[in-house]
Structure 1
Amino acid sequence: MTVLRIVSNLHAADPASAQVFYGDLLGLDIVMDHGWIMTFASKAQTVPQISIASKGGSGTIVPDLSIEVDDVDEIYQRARSMQFEIVYDLNDEPWGVRRFYVRDPFGKIVNILSHR
């Protein structure tokens, strides 16, 4: 038996309101839209992962989602210009990632990161 995919399901009264954050900010494509559920995806091939944590590292809370991008600085600047709430400022962490936390439209804390 092999896990092929892991999908996070976030509750939203209006799933279409996810477009600005997950589509416009992060560049994900809508691959399914039934009105009551929308799925955003990237063309990148990834390995299924799930992290279980007691803390977020560097004195932060555990984020609801972690999304790795190829240019965290670009996404950080776009998030600021789009006036998304930055919960934890852009930082180089001792374990080799550069990251920041941002609040999505549904109140979820999203860890946006790149490996250095």
Structure 2
Amino acid sequence: MAVTRIVANLSTRDPMALAEFYQHVFELDLPLNMGWITFLSKDTSQKIELHTASEGGAGTELPVISIGVTDIAATERAVRSAGAEVVYGPVSESWGLRRFFFRDPAGNLVNVVDS
């Protein structure tokens, strides 16, 4: 058996509105909208990871997802421009990551990491 993918499912009352937020901020494609669920993607090679944790590090709440980006400053500007609240950072952590957390329009805590 080989794992081929792991997918994050974000709970929201309005899947399309939340999908539009992520499309805008992270420039994702929307290949499927079934009304009750949307699929967002980007044509890129995908690394499979699954983390288990008791907190988000540095004493923070555990985010529901982590998103790696190539330009954390530009992503922070896009998040703020889209009206989302940055609730932690940006900060360079003692373990070598630069990151920030924000709450999306559905209230999900998201970790954005410079990768």
TM-score (norm 1): 0.92
The answer for the alignment partner of 2:53 in structure 1 is 53
Q: CA deviation at 1:82?
A: 2.5
Greater shift, 79-88 or 68-77, is seen at: 79-88
The answer for the alignment partner of 1:114 in structure 2 is 114
Distance 1:27 1:93 in 2: 26
The answer for the alignment partner of 1:97 in structure 2 is 97
Q: What's the secondary structure of 2:61's corresponding residue?
A: coil
Q: CA deviation at 1:31?
A: 1.7
Identity %: 38
User: Matched residue pairs, number?
Assistant: 115
User: Gapped runs of 5+ residues in structure 2?
Assistant: none
The answer for the alignment partner of 1:41 in structure 2 is 41
The amino acid of 2:41's aligned partner reads A
**What is the Cα-based RMSD across aligned positions, in Å?**
1.2
TM-score (norm 2): 0.92
The answer for the alignment partner of 1:30 in structure 2 is 30
Deviations 1:59-105 (A, max 9, x none): 21111110001111100112122221111120111222111001011
Deviations 1:16-64 (A, max 9, x none): 1113421001111112111111010111212111110111111211111
The amino acid of 2:97's aligned partner reads V
Q: What's the secondary structure of 1:87's corresponding residue?
A: strand
2:69–2:112 CA contact under 8 A, matched in 1: yes
Q: What pairs with 1:54-69 in structure 2 (closer than 5 Å)? A: 54-69=54-69
Q: CA deviation at 1:8?
A: 1.3
The amino acid of 2:73's aligned partner reads D
List structure 1 runs of 4+ shifted beyond 2 angstroms.
none
Q: What's the secondary structure of 1:101's corresponding residue?
A: strand
The amino acid of 1:18's aligned partner reads L
